[in-house]
């Protein structure tokens, strides 16, 4: 699914954040008019901007316009977008999706072997934060959940807490799920700052890749990361923060998976959820594929032992990003349809499968590298 497009800007002198409308008679101060055909004539245009596929629009006034856009059919009424000075149009929030995420920054203090979005050393935080200040008040109040990811969101510093505070004020009934490596919370003042927000709809998803520090630190390519992460988890738990542990499944994590499950139960029993995540074939993964790839079919036993142990102890457990056909049937009840709709896909043979509507499928980029055991269920 397309989330970005670009055209030629006219009169765009600052980042614009607004709501898509296709109705020229229903324009307000937050509207961005989408025109597939001719731009209507306005005595006075009250909206923020106009976006169009037209090659050479005729303009009588000084409207802010982006034209010659190759594709607009991915946008619908109510979607929230940003327009950059260069004519880049980014979809920030889709009204017909449950999978909306704010990218806090592309910076990170880890450098994981399988990172799906490799970090970039650029100061993008002020710009992204300014965009979200405009965006958040426009998000529908009935929004069920929003994710925050990176990079590492806590590298926003004080702006991280200000972003969460704005979300709490503007969207008090929305669940917020932050993906963080948790290392910043090894410093108790960071955990205390979060606690002072009193944000009971906030959950932090934090990865723990092994029960042994050298394995975890090797995977994240950062010394002392394991100790910082575990200390961060305990600092947060001492302040009753809602927590989730995430484990990415690959050649480095599978050998100690059962021991990790027992470690989580013994040392992190306070977490609300443990998520076992299938590997994404994007970012650093293709470069490190020899260090990471193991066919999901081949780690059924290890995954089954870990999942069933934790579930047997009363912990909430899920398996993400893994097709049903490579899991034993006894694990299906733990499998979730979790892949965001804009990056979810299936192999051609999956169209014949009677379990298609129950299966999470594959990441679009995993069509290039997937289990050799994917087979349709046919009854």
pLDDT at position 29 is 96
Tabulate helix, strand, coil % of the chain (nearest 5).
35, 20, 45
7 exposure class (CB count in 10 Å sphere: 0-12, 13-18, 19+): buried
Kindly report the pTM of this predicted structure: 0.93
Tokens encoding 64? 């802010």
DSSP lists the bridge partners of residue 205 as 179, 244
Angle of helix 158-170 relative to helix 125-135, nearest 10 degrees?
A: 10
pLDDT at position 347 is 85
Q: How far apart are CA 47 and CA 14, in angstroms?
A: 15
Pairing outcome for strands 273-277 and 242-248: parallel
Q: How far apart are CA 89 and CA 16, in angstroms?
A: 9
Domains by residue range for the chain, with CATH: 4-93 (3.50.30.10), 101-367 (3.20.20.70)
pLDDT at position 61 is 66
Angle of helix 300-312 relative to helix 257-267, nearest 10 degrees?
A: 20
pLDDT tens for the chain, 379 residues long, are 678 999 999 999 999 999 999 999 999 999 999 998 788 888 788 999 999 998 877 766 678 999 999 989 999 999 999 999 999 999 999 999 988 999 999 999 999 999 999 999 999 999 999 999 999 999 999 999 999 999 999 999 999 999 999 999 999 999 999 999 999 999 999 999 999 999 999 999 999 999 999 999 999 999 999 999 999 999 999 999 999 999 999 999 999 999 999 999 999 999 999 999 999 999 999 999 999 999 999 999 999 999 999 999 999 999 998 989 999 999 999 998 766 665 568 888 888 898 888 887 777 766 677 888 888 888 7
């Amino acid at each position: 699914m397309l989330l970005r497009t670009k055209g030629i800007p006219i009169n765009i002198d600052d980042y614009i954040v607004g709501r898509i409308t296709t109705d020229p008679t229903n324009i307000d101060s937050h509207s961005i008019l989408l025109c597939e055909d001719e731009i209507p004539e306005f005595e006075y245009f009250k909206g923020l901007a106009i976006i169009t596929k037209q090659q050479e629009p005729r303009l009588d006034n000084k409207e802010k316009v982006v034209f010659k856009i190759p594709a607009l059919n991915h946008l619908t009424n109510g979607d929230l977008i940003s327009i950059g000075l260069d004519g880049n149009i980014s979809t920030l929030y889709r009204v017909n999706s449950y999978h909306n995420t704010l990218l806090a920054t592309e910076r990170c203090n880890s450098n994981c072997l399988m990172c799906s979005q490799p970090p970039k050393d650029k100061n993008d935080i002020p710009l992204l934060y300014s965009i979200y200040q405009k965006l958040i008040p426009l998000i529908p109040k009935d929004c069920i959940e929003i994710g925050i990811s990176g990079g590492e969101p806590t590298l926003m510093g004080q702006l991280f807490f200000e972003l969460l505070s704005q979300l709490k004020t503007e969207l008090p009934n929305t669940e917020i799920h932050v993906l963080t490596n948790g290392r910043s919370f090894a410093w108790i003042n960071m955990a205390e700052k979060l606690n002072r927000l009193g944000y009971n709809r906030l959950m932090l998803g934090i990865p723990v890749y092994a029960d042994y520090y050298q394995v975890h630190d090797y995977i994240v390519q950062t010394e002392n990361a394991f100790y910082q992460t575990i200390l961060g988890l305990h600092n947060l738990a001492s302040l009753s923060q809602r927590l989730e542990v995430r484990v990415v499944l690959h050649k480095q994590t599978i050998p100690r998976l059962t021991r990790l499950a027992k470690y989580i139960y013994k040392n992190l029993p306070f977490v609300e959820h443990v998520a076992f995540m299938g590997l994404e074939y994007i970012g650093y993964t293709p470069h490190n594929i020899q260090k990471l790839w193991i066919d999901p079919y081949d780690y059924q036993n290890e995954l089954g032992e870990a999942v069933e142990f934790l579930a047997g102890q009363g912990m909430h457990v899920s398996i993400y990003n893994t097709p049903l056909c490579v899991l034993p049937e006894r694990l299906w009840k733990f499998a979730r349809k979790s892949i965001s709709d804009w990056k979810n896909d299936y192999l051609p043979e999956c169209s014949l499968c009677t379990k298609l509507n129950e299966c999470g499928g594959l990441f679009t980029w995993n069509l290039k590298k997937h289990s050799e055991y994917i087979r349709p269920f046919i009854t």
